[in-house]
């Protein structure tokens, strides 16, 4: 089915951030989305249940590395924007299986850029001027900070430390090169850690919420002193919309939540919220479930984002405060037991066994 008029193409729109973005886009713009997603372990059409049957959304199961498929979708739907989320996104998995990250994040981004360039070059003048390719990336490309270092800005040198970050850095460089070499109107966003509804259960915040609820150990890597800058996912999505609307082609924009927290503080806050919302007298305070385990190899100590450029140039600021956003997120996971159950596939259980059984408690 061809989606009529003014559609955008989203990749990875059945994943965590992509699905939040698709829901927000349809609500706010009312225009159609073609959603290309391979539905790997991280992709879940259930995230899009709210728009099931809506003619403005079409989910296409397919691979961004498939040039013919990408070309056919561009020819058929003639999108004015491509928003590229699809990626392998979990650092721990990139340590165990880096090949999948090179394939999707590097080869897949290259395939999309190449097909976008061919499509764009055949548009008329107005179409070429309006077209945007928004490449969604991460602050992890900048490497790690010491406690006193200034936050990452758009001019911070790239220094990726994990295979995930290296693969995203490579994709950012390709996106940049397609602007400078071919004039393809590419925009890149580098965002800090997201949290909120629909995040896959392997990431820190959902993992800790569910383990706390179910009285299982809460695995904190190393000393728990690593710092992340947390951003509520809906704020990330609104930032991406601002960049599509008002961003300057060829530019990069850092996106962050001004909410730096140590992992241990995030975990104890989650324990306290779960205690409040689901008290369990037999279990007692969930903080006692915190278990320090072997650190992640090459674990970046601190991330912090200077988001002043997007604030100054595009007028975007995060709306959610970390404490209220975390509370909402915990409440969402506690209220969505059937979503959680549907995500707990065999593949997820196998990953938990692989990642945690060999970690030594300290
Ligand atoms: P996710 O792992 O939850 O979702 C990724 C989606 O991409 C899934 O739906 C998956 O099925 C799909 N996908 C994977 N390989 C594919 C392929 N070859 N072809 C088509 N689809 C494929 O990831 P996320 O957390 O939603 O992250 C989305 C993007 O945002 C990524 O590019 C990530 O690097 C970036 N990002 C994430 C965060 C974060 O905190 N999660 C922060 C900054 C940037
Ligand atoms: P994660 O959610 O994997 O995001 P990222 O690695 O992209 O920052 O992890 C967030 C932080 O939490 C990171 O410093 C690693 C740490 N962490 C733990 O301490 N225990 C865990 O079980 C997980 C998954 C992460």
pLDDT digits (tens, 9 = 90+) for 45-69: 999 999 999 999 999 999 999 999 9
Q: Does a structural domain hold residue 206?
A: no
The kind and range of the H/E element at 186 are strand 186-191
Quote the domain boundaries for residue 122. Answer: 8-196+229-255
| Residues 105, 101: Cα–Cα separation, whole Å | 5
Q: Does a structural domain hold residue 85?
A: yes
Residue-averaged pLDDT of the chain: 96
C-beta 303 within 6 A of ligand 1: no
| Residues 16, 112: Cα–Cα separation, whole Å | 20
Gap from CA of 11 to ligand 1 centroid (Å): 9
Q: In the annotation, is 139 catalytic? A: yes
C-beta separation of 220 from 292 below 8 A: yes
C-beta 141 within 6 A of ligand 1: no
Gap from CA of 105 to ligand 1 centroid (Å): 9
Q: In the annotation, is 319 catalytic? A: no
Q: Does a structural domain hold residue 176?
A: yes
3-class DSSP assignment, residue 99: helix
3-class DSSP assignment, residue 209: helix
> What is the per-residue pLDDT across 348-359, written as a single tens digit (0 to 9) for each?
677 777 888 777
Gap from CA of 85 to ligand 1 centroid (Å): 5
Q: Does a structural domain hold residue 169?
A: yes
Q: Does a structural domain hold residue 272?
A: no
pLDDT of residue 87: 98
3-class DSSP assignment, residue 88: coil
C-beta 144 within 6 A of ligand 1: no
Count how many Cα atoms sit within 13 Å of the Cα of residue 263 in the half-sphere of its side chain. Answer: 25
> What is the per-residue pLDDT across 144-168, written as a single tens digit (0 to 9) for each?
999 999 999 999 999 999 999 999 9
Ligand nearest to the backbone CA of 217: 2
C-beta 170 within 6 A of ligand 2: no
pLDDT of residue 267: 98
Any idea what the CATH number is for the domain that residue 133 is in?
Answer: 3.40.50.720
Q: Does a structural domain hold residue 3?
A: no
pLDDT of residue 3: 58
C-beta 87 within 6 A of ligand 1: yes
> Which percentage of the chain shows pLDDT scores above 70?
98
């Amino acid at each position: 089915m061809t989606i009529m008029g003014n559609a955008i193409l989203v990749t990875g729109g059945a994943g965590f951030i992509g699905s939040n973005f698709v829901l927000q886009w349809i609500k706010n713009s009312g225009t159609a989305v073609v959603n290309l997603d391979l539905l790997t372990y991280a992709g879940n059409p259930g995230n899009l249940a709210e728009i099931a049957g809506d003619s403005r959304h079409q989910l296409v199961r397919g691979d961004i590395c498939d040039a013919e498929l990408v070309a056919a979708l561009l020819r058929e739907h003639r999108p004015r924007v491509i928003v590229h989320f699809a990626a392998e996104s979990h650092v721990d998995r990139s340590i165990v299986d880096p090949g999948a990250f090179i394939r999707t994040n590097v080869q897949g981004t290259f395939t999309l850029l190449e097909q976008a360039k061919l499509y764009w070059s055949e548009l008329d003048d107005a179409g070429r001027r309006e077209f945007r390719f928004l490449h969604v990336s991460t602050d992890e490309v900048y490497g790690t900070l010491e406690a006193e270092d200034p936050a990452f800005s758009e001019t911070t040198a790239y220094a990726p430390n994990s295979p995930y970050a290296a693969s995203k850095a490579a994709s950012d460089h390709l996106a940049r090169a397609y602007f400078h070499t071919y004039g393809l109107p590419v925009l890149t966003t580098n965002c800090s850690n997201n949290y909120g509804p629909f995040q896959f259960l392997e990431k820190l915040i959902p993992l800790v919420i569910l383990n706390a609820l179910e009285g299982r150990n809460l695995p904190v890597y190393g000393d728990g002193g690593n710092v992340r800058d947390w951003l509520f996912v809906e704020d990330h999505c609104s930032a991406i919309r601002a960049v599509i609307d008002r961003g300057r082609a060829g530019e990069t924009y850092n996106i962050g939540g001004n909410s730096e927290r140590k992992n241990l503080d995030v975990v104890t806050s989650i324990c306290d919220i779960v205690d409040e919302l689901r008290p369990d007298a037999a279990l007692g305070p969930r903080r006692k479930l915190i278990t320090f385990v072997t650190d992640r190899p090459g674990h970046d100590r601190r991330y912090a984002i200077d988001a002043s450029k997007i604030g100054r140039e595009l007028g975007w600021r995060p709306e959610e405060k970390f404490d209220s956003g975390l509370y909402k997120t915990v409440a969402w996971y506690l209220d969505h037991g059937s979503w959680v159950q549907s995500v707990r596939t065999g593949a997820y259980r196998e990953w938990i066994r692989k990642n945690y059984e060999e970690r030594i408690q300290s």
